[in-house]
Amino acid sequence: MLFKLGSLLMKPGAKMALLAFAIVFPFLADNEYQVYVMASAFVWAIAVYGLNIITGYCGQLNLAHGGFFAIGAYTLGLLTADAGWSFWPAFVAALVMTAVLGFFVGIVSLRLKEHYFAIFTLCVGFIIYLLIDKWEELTHGPIGVRDIAAPSGFGLVDFTETTPFYYLVLAFLVFSIWFMGRLSRSLLGRTFIAIRNGDELAQSLGINLMRNKVLAFVLSTTYAGLAGALYAGMVRFIGPEEANINHTFDMITYLLVGGIGTLTGPLLGTVGIVWITQSLQFLEEYRMIIFGPLLVILVIFFPRGITGQFLTWMHHKAQSLAPGKKRRESKVQTASAREAENNA
Amino acid sequence: MNLFFQQIINGLTLGSIYGLVALGLTLVYGILHIPNFAHGALYMVGAFMSYFFMTDLGVHYWVAMAGSAAVVAVLAILCERLVFHPLRNSPPIHDKIAAIGILLFLEAVVQMFWGSDFRRLSSPFTGIMNFDGLIIPEQRLLIIVGAFVLVIALQLFLRKTMTGATIIAMAQSREGAFLVGIDANRVAMMTFAISGVLAAVAASLYAPINLVYPAMGHLVIMKAFVIIILGGMGSIPGAIAGGMIIGFAEAFGGFYISTAYKDIIAFGLLVLILSVRPQGLFAKGAH
Amino acid sequence: MLKVEHLTKMFGGLAAVNDVSVDFEAGKINAIIGPNGAGKSTFFNLISGLHQPTSGRILLDGVDVTHMPCDQVARLGVGRTFQTTNLFEQATVLDNLIVGHRLRTRSGLWDVLINSKRLQREEKAARDKAMEALDFVGLTHVAGQFIADITQEERKRVAFALALATDPKIVLLDEPAAGVNPEETEGFAALMRKMVDNGLTVCLIEHKMDMIMSLADKIMVLDHGEKIAEGTPEEVRNNPVVIEAYLGGDEDAAA
């Protein structure tokens, strides 16, 4: 049953169907609140795609991701609320800001291996939080930033309303996934995966570690900045809690459940968990009683999450179905067709 | 002069607590090469256990501390058995994520039982000692003395007992330890238990002059990581020295520079050190 | 081809490789043997640029590569395998190999964004190269299988193919036949001969003496980081210093 549903999802038309569902969702929703929840799930999904680049593809556990999300949100918030910029220039500035800061943090932190990198980024994330919380002259400290501009509309479209904003976020999400798909199939994506397989092996294949890791890191922080800026434009009121390490932990959970290093995993994990926690309100506060052990179980038994598990199953099914001619060229074809998905 | 002396006491107090937490972290890292992100949660559970034993069961502070240490030691062993042991051959990113899972779980459980309010652990040592005008609160003195005694006890255990010797042997060379037939499982469990005891005692000592709440472990664990990077991951003297360095830097930085930013000192120091020396301050060689 | 002069590597006061000079000829199979801990793998790491030597020089076809970073050395034509090769288990063999040709391509982020002609051309080249390498090691039949589903011996061949996909001039093989049975060992020996027949220079570390003695054109013996002997299999076999080193407590002497 689950697999039937799964194989349906693998069909080329499935992506279109998913997109069609996302497009008509506001008309199917019972109320505006559901549209709002879906839009926020999409925003988080964009950030999780970013985390997937550096952590899923490139294998470096970045614990400052929530911090970069907050930097994107604050750049947009402060520029529109305090400096009087309109939304779109501030939006671009937020992307540039997270990319540039990502570059500088990247060139320092990515010289560190494994544990050191994780610990270093944990500290960077905390420094970001502390700066936002304490640097009151700039960030207003714990009071937060109010009156953040919404995206300026075009003609009749008014992005202060939920549904138009939903479509705006959806457009960015589609672009994010489209780019991720292209990246993961490309030589560049394969380069990142080679680094995940091991630094020494990647180097001996002629891969410049630093250049590629920094590129992956900057891409990931830019995704975080994009999500943060959209978030600020959506909620229009932000505080230091946006930089709380728990946001990073949430994103890791979404990524792990959906499937780390897969193309659909971040979307499935984020939208799935956001809706589960929404529909089971009592879970909101104590959700980690379930998701904490779930993380442990996933890394022990299903390290590639729902999507990864499903892809492995599909692969083996294709192998056993190929009649007679065991291990033949034809299977290379089926495998290649699925490569886009799997290749991450 | 008095204020200066006060900062020395503060530095020693903070350094003692940080040192104890970092010691457990560094022992686990030295032996299993796991950066245990859940260590701060063990510390937090330690404080809540002492709180529970004292307020709900009404036992004495010392008994509560012992009970807390026992509970957290068992919890740490469970973490090792159920989570880190099955992951010992997994890619390095997995054990870190699993540790985060444990951390999230423990925090949520504690929050479910006690809520996220700030609580205070009362201690029988509320007096203030006055040495000729130099004022030391009893609890701070207790922390300093307690940490000192624990470190000495740990040293004796590691140097003088068979189990301790195997822990040291394994920390120095995992393969070597296997060759000479050390029971790696036992050593791993023992190490986790020790790290749990140290965390629980540190939390129980510090809680009376600080607050008890579910997120109390966050800052402490991050600082403990800074300390063991400073002192060299896996090094016991490094953890103690690093703890003191950070403790004093915070006490004096907080007093003479800025209270608001005192928490940033440790992390700023780490960023600075790792920027210049990616392998840490006291780490030997480049490997 | 590969000329090493007075190469030394110190690790915290200890010499892992001590004043080693050697000349590996093009189109030959060169073997490095020695007891455990003799510095063989460190020697490979120095040549391939993973570690920087403390002193000495490494010349590749006359070009000084002593202080070049690993990725540049690879681009100059030094391919290598490791004792264990971490691959992406849940991806196909072919997928794992495509990246091998990455160093001969130039596409960057912008090419990915616009899906440039260059990217398409280079991806096809990389895929073709991967198939070619797979064909060379005789594994085209498992191209579509997950790494997790192939045998230990096939994994080792995939590691060979990965090194070959980089278009190397010389390949450094670290214990290529470790952990495989005698028949498979013979298969690897044949593969190495095939590499040499195709104009490659092979340099390998190996413990299996039977294989080395029948395969190598030239053997260098390391002990405690120092070169203690060098020559044809016949010369090395009868060298009293080598016999002494091996009898000094290493099981390989029996082989």
User: What is the residue range of A122's domain?
Assistant: 31-244
Query: What 3-state DSSP class applies to C27?
Result: coil
Residue in A182, A198, A311 nearest the CB of C86: A198
In C131-190, the residues whose Cβ lies within 8 Å of chain A are 140-146, 149, 162-163, 166
Which chains form contacts with chain B, at 3 or more CB pairs under 8 Å? A, C
Q: How many residue pairs from chains A and B have C-beta atoms closer than 8 A?
A: 120
Q: Give B202 or C11, the one with higher predicted confidence.
A: B202
Band of residue A336 on the pLDDT scale cut at 50, 70, 90? very low
Q: Which residue has the tokens 């997994």?
A: B90
A331, part of any domain:
no
CB B26 within 8 A of CB B239: yes
Residue A144 has pLDDT above 90, yes or no: yes
Q: Is A193 on the interface with B (CB under 8 A)?
A: no
DSSP assignment of A296-335 equals HHHHHH-TTHHHHHHHHHHHHHHHHHS-SSTT-HHHHHHH
Q: What is the DSSP letter of A83?
A: S
Query: What integer pLDDT is reported at residue B183 of this predicted model?
Result: 79
Rounded to 5°, angle at Cα A170 from A100 and A283:
90
A273 found inside a domain: no
Q: CATH code for B2-123+132-276?
A: 1.10.3470
Q: Residue A1, SS3?
A: coil
Residue C249 contacts B where some CB pair is shorter than 8 Å: no
Predicted pLDDT of residue B181 = 66
Element (H or E) spanning A77, and its range?
A: helix A65-81
* C88 near B CB under 8 A: no
Question: How is chain B split into domains, by residue range?
Answer: 2-123+132-276
**The tokens of C223 are what?**
């002990």
| DSSP collapsed to 3 states, chain B | CHHHHHHHHHHHHHHHHHHHHHHHHHHHHHHHCCCCCCHHHHHHHHHHHHHHHHHCCCCCHHHHHHHHHHHHHHHHHHHHHHHHCCCCCCCHHHHHHHHHHHHHHHHHHHHHHHCCCCECCCCCCCCEEEECCEEEEHHHHHHHHHHHHHHHHHHHHHHHCHHHHHHHHHHHCHHHHHHCCCCHHHHHHHHHHHHHHHHHHHHHHHHHHCCECHHHHHHHHHHHHHHHHHHCCCCHHHHHHHHHHHHHHHHHHHHHCCCCCHHHHHHHHHHHHHHHCCCCCCCCCCC
pTM for the predicted model, two decimal places = 0.90
Confidence category of residue C133, pLDDT binned at 50, 70, 90: very high
For C236-251, what is the mean pLDDT? 75
- What pLDDT is recorded for position B152? 92
Is the CB of residue B287 less than 8 Å from the CB of residue C11? yes
Angle between helix A32-51 and A12-28 (nearest 10): 140
Please answer whether residues A55 and B93 qualify as being in contact, where contact means their C-beta atoms are separated by less than 8 angstroms.
yes
Residue B281's φ and ψ, nearest 5 degrees, are: -75, -50
Mean pLDDT along residues A292-297? 91
Residue B285 has pLDDT above 60, yes or no: no
With bands split at pLDDT 50, 70 and 90, how would you rate the model's confidence at C20? very high
Picking from B112, B261, B267, the nearest residue to A286 by CB comes out as B112
User: Are C7 and C21 a contacting pair, CB within 8 Å?
Assistant: yes
pLDDT > 80? residue B191: yes
Question: Mean pLDDT, chain C, as a whole number?
Answer: 91
- Residue A141 covered by a domain: yes
Instruction: Out of A162-166, B84-88, C34-38, C44-48, pick the least confident.
Output: C34-38
Residues A262-282 as b/e (b if ≥16 CB within 10 A, e otherwise) read: bbbbbbbbbbebbeebbeeee
Q: Name the helix (H) or strand (E) containing A167.
A: helix A162-185
Q: Among A81-85, A150-154, C161-165, name the one with the lowest average pLDDT.
A: A150-154
Separation in Å, CA of C90 to nearest CA in chain B: 14
Q: Is A334 on the interface with C (CB under 8 A)?
A: yes
Q: What is the pLDDT of residue A101?
A: 98
Q: Which residues have a Cβ under 8 Å from the Cβ of A114 and sit 6 or more positions away?
A: B92, B93
Q: Residue A335: what pLDDT?
A: 43
pLDDT classification of A100: cutoffs 50, 70, 90: very high
In this predicted model, what pLDDT tens digit does every residue of B35-44 receive, in sequence order?
A: 999 999 999 9
Q: B171 to chain C nearest CA, in Å?
A: 19
DSSP class of C64: E
Q: How many helices (H) and strands (E) does chain A have?
A: 16, 0
Burial of C107 (0-12, 13-18, 19+ CB in 10 A): buried
Structure confidence at residue A344 (pLDDT): 41
Task: Please give the structure tokens belonging to residue C138.
Answer: 């005789």
> What integer pLDDT is reported at residue B186 of this predicted model?
86
Q: How much is the average pLDDT of B153-182?
A: 77
- Name residue, tokens 């994103």: A251
Residue A343 at interface with chain C, using a CB cutoff of 8 Å: yes
Q: Give the integer Cα–Cα distance in Å for A215 and C112.
A: 13
C206 is written with which tokens? 């190996």
Q: Which two tokens stand for residue B224?
A: 């403990």
State the count of interchain CB pairs (< 8 A) between B and C. 4
pLDDT: which is higher, B182 or C41: C41
Residue appearing with tokens 């502390």:
A130
DSSP A112: S
Residue B16 CA to residue B141 CA, distance in Å, equals 11
Contact B151, B19 (CB under 8 A): yes
Give A157: exposed, middle or buried? Use CB within 10 Å, 0-12, 13-18, 19+.
middle
pLDDT over 50 (residue C244): yes
- The confidence score (pLDDT) of residue B116 equals 85
Proportion of chain C above pLDDT 70, given as a percent: 96
- Pick from A21-30, B256-265, C116-125: least confident: B256-265
Q: How many domains does chain A have?
A: 1
Structure tokens at B104: 């999230």
Check if the beta carbon of residue C4 is closer than 8 Å to that of residue C192. no
Assembly ipTM: 0.92
Q: Could you tell me if residue A217 is inside a domain?
A: yes
User: What tokens appear for C175 in the block?
Assistant: 């214990």
pLDDT of residue A327: 45
